[in-house]
Structure 1
């Protein structure tokens, strides 16, 4: 007989804590919000949630020779950047008004402008790095009709909050899943721009690498670019003190989905190596234990078994 599992219900304390973190600091002057929430994430939230240890574990896995002092610094700096990013996005117009004063740069700008002028679909790829929504805001202000694919939050109240916050930066935003993907594809085929973050572990992803380690990655962006003739281009919002550099790199040349996906990973890796404290080392990008189990299952028992 089935049980009604209360553990599966949203945790109201967890919800309250997250809402307080992104709403209460909005009472502060804009210039203080980032430092305050960054400090709270680094010194309070990260130790409780063990985010700092996850940063350390990831760094030890892919960069075992990194100076321990640098590892410790990053275990605090990475959550701080995450906190700043969250409150910036939650700040709505105050955030986008600041982005409006920044001129985009980079070798990919002419290709971006030409594709928009021609009505050609554009797929912007990036990662959980710097503030990826700074790039999305800059593209919207440059005249792109830009949509974004996001991962829904299990708690419906938090998901509504997240959707609203992202929509204030630029709309539309599409939840991951069949319905959201279908809406995004229709939007893309009309000659619009979509933004996708590809730096997450995907169980059935391509066996490409990131920081020299196997990092299963979705090939969806490359496949869509090939299918619809879309421009595929990495764009980054790199934090510089209180501002950002919004950089469009050279487009990824069309070839095959796996080669193009590896090129996306290589582009992001180069940016992360230059700004180690701006990537989300908190999330489980590699999952080596799971990958070892899968490799063993594929190999199967030896001939003498």
Structure 2
């Protein structure tokens, strides 16, 4: 008997619509709760409802098995659930833009790169911050915006078009200018930075056009965009991280020493190593739900290049 083909997920289909409806309702309700209750609710909702429904739990577990094959199924399941909890908390953190800025206005911001960022601002020199989907990646940006900085960004649209509409609008609410990933958006960000502005790039997503750079011990196609823009504009390339504290509410905003300018791939290897170090310290805070490696696709592309 022939096996039935597994139905592929169609962006914009009923699953995306249903997921977005659940999330919109949850966001609306959660924003009317006190902060601690709000974060708890969204963490549990994503962990127990959305992650299983959308396939995020299985994806996280598969990624963990790819990177740490010796980890038990129980350990992977537990870690995947913690990742989903942090994702839910991060989502509602970032949908309360004014509240996040109030919280980060008094938060401690540290790191070897902070003094250089402050000096660059005083001198009108450009800065490009680079980070990954770790902790709350908007928290350090909010900390600086609350202190009078203007920090633009480049974002990758969500695969769920219903969710992406309000996700993008919310990014604009924190600090403009914000550009959608693509040639036009990249040129807009470059222009903003070249004129002495500051911007943020998240680099830890799969892109088939990227250069294979080992990430957590496995090759992952990685765009050199952040390094390329820093070199073109003369901007400082400063990794930053918003690390969620044990209370589940507050953050450490850490601005690391700038990555020295040099060969773009080597610069991105250094950026990758900085993120890896944070993940090893707090593996539950990286978004393992992303398709970062896509090993099957990488094998197919490698085989196609080799030919018959």
Post-superposition offset of 1:63: 1.0
Deviation by residue 1:39-94 (Cα, 9 ceiling, x = unmatched): 01101111122211111111111111235443221121000000000001111212
Post-superposition offset of 1:181: 2.0
2:252 counterpart residue number: 245
1:20 counterpart residue number: 25
Post-superposition offset of 1:165: 1.5
1:283 counterpart residue number: 290
Does the alignment pair 1:66 with 2:71? Answer: yes
Kindly tell me: are residues 293 and 169 of structure 1, through their superposed partners in 2, closer, same or farther at Cα, counting changes over 3 Å? same
Kindly tell me: are residues 224 and 34 of structure 1, through their superposed partners in 2, closer, same or farther at Cα, counting changes over 3 Å? same
2:188 counterpart residue number: 183
SS at match of 1:159: helix
Map 1:135-214; keep pairs closer than 5 Å: 135-153=140-158, 158-214=163-219
Q: Is the 8 A contact 1:132 1:237 kept in 2?
A: yes
CA distance in 2, matches of 1:262, 1:110: 24
Q: Number of paired residues? A: 295
CA distance in 2, matches of 1:258, 1:92: 34
Unpaired segments ≥5 residues, structure 2:
1-9
Query: Which of 116, 125, 128 is the matching residue for 1:111?
Result: 116
Post-superposition offset of 1:239: 0.1
Deviation by residue 1:263-286 (Cα, 9 ceiling, x = unmatched): 111100100110011000001000
CA distance in 2, matches of 1:172, 1:154: 22
Q: Is the 8 A contact 2:20 2:163 kept in 1?
A: yes
Question: After TM superposition, what 4+ stretches of structure 1 lie above 6 angstroms from structure 2?
Answer: none
Query: Which of 135, 138, 145 is the matching residue for 1:133?
Result: 138
Map 1:209-224; keep pairs closer than 5 Å: 209-224=214-229
TM-score (norm 1): 0.92
Query: Which of 69, 79, 85 is the matching residue for 1:80?
Result: 85
SS at match of 1:203: coil
Post-superposition offset of 1:8: 6.6
Kindly tell me: are residues 155 and 41 of structure 1, through their superposed partners in 2, closer, same or farther at Cα, counting changes over 3 Å? closer
Post-superposition offset of 1:155: 6.2
Post-superposition offset of 1:167: 2.2
Post-superposition offset of 1:119: 1.2
Unpaired segments ≥5 residues, structure 1:
1-6
